[in-house]
Amino acid sequence: MDNKFWVKALSDKKTLSLLEDKKFSSFHPVKCNKCGNTTDFQQQLFRVDTEPKNIDEDEKQNFLRYHMKQRHDLDSIFFKIKNNISYIDTAFCKKCNSNMITYDIKLGDEVYEELSKYLNIPKDEIQNDMRKIQDSLQQNN
């Protein structure tokens, strides 16, 4: 059976709704690789549906990267899942309109809480350890 893919751009309202979810938006745009801008990004989200549902994730992502480049001229995309729904997240620099944007994880309370549950270590201990690591990295640079 052939694999089928449907990719649909989300409305601005649906995009804003998803981006207001702190867990969903913890992986977010931080820097334009073309001009160095670190603020003012416009994000666009796409919903992805596939048939069959159990398609190999690597195969799916490779096909979607090719599709998004060919159909939408997007060089930089990221895959996210919320409530078992797959999304593509991409951003544009508002200063130079480049799509070559670096994303990073915002280490907010939600991320620390998830790590705490997963690692069975108190959230405060993880935060303190992360601060120590960050301080050490800054001293070495």
Q: State the DSSP string of the chain.
A: ---EEEEEEPPHHHHHHHHTSTTGGGEEEEEETTT---S-EEEEEEEEEEESTT--HHHHHHHHHHHHHHHH--S--EEEEETTEEEEEEEEETTT----EEEEE---HHHHHHHHHHHTS-HHHHHHHHHHHHHHHHHH-
Residue given tokens 């996210």 in the structure block: 80
pLDDT digit string, tens, across residues 51-103: 777 778 888 899 999 999 999 999 999 999 999 899 999 999 999 999 999 99
How far CA 7 is from CA of 55, 65, 95, in Å, comes to: 15, 11, 27
pLDDT digit string, tens, across residues 99-131: 999 999 888 888 888 889 999 999 999 999 988
List the domain boundaries for the chain. Answer: 4-106, 107-141
Token digits of residue 59: 């195969």
